[in-house]
């Protein structure tokens, strides 16, 4: 038999997989958030650090002194972003489900989440 097509799990939370195994869906979305946090932390850290140093030391942002050690403090940034992003997606999904239950399936429920 031909392979079955992959089911797309949208934001409606009515897919069969979400009903059968909700903890797996939450874990997958938390993992996606953690991966997103890692990519964003590593990609933006040099700019974030330079901007912070420019503000703290009252120097121009593009000064060479701002960019001497761009990876200083990366571990703290990575841990914080991974933690925050891993929590964000499951919490957003839970609030979206609650708002759909309260407001119905309307634009107001998406805005309230």
Positive or negative: CA dihedral 63, 69, 71, 77: negative
The average confidence (pLDDT) of the chain is 81
pLDDT at 109 (0 to 100): 56
Question: Which has the closest alpha carbon to 77: 104, 47, 109?
Answer: 47
R_g of the chain computed on alpha carbons: 20
pLDDT tens digits, one per residue of 37-61: 999 999 999 999 999 999 999 999 9
pLDDT band at 98 (very low <50, low <70, confident <90, very high): confident
């Amino acid at each position: 038999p031909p392979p079955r097509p992959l089911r797309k799990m949208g934001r409606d939370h009515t897919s069969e997989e979400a009903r059968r195994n909700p903890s797996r869906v939450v874990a997958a979305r938390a993992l996606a958030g953690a991966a997103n946090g890692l990519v964003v932390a590593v990609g933006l850290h040099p700019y974030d650090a330079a901007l912070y140093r420019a503000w703290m030391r009252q120097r121009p942002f593009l000064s060479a002194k701002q960019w001497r050690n761009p990876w200083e403090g990366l571990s703290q940034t990575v841990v914080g972003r991974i933690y925050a992003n891993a929590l964000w997606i499951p919490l957003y999904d839970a609030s979206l489900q609650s708002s759909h239950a309260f407001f119905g399936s309307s634009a107001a429920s998406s805005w309230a989440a």
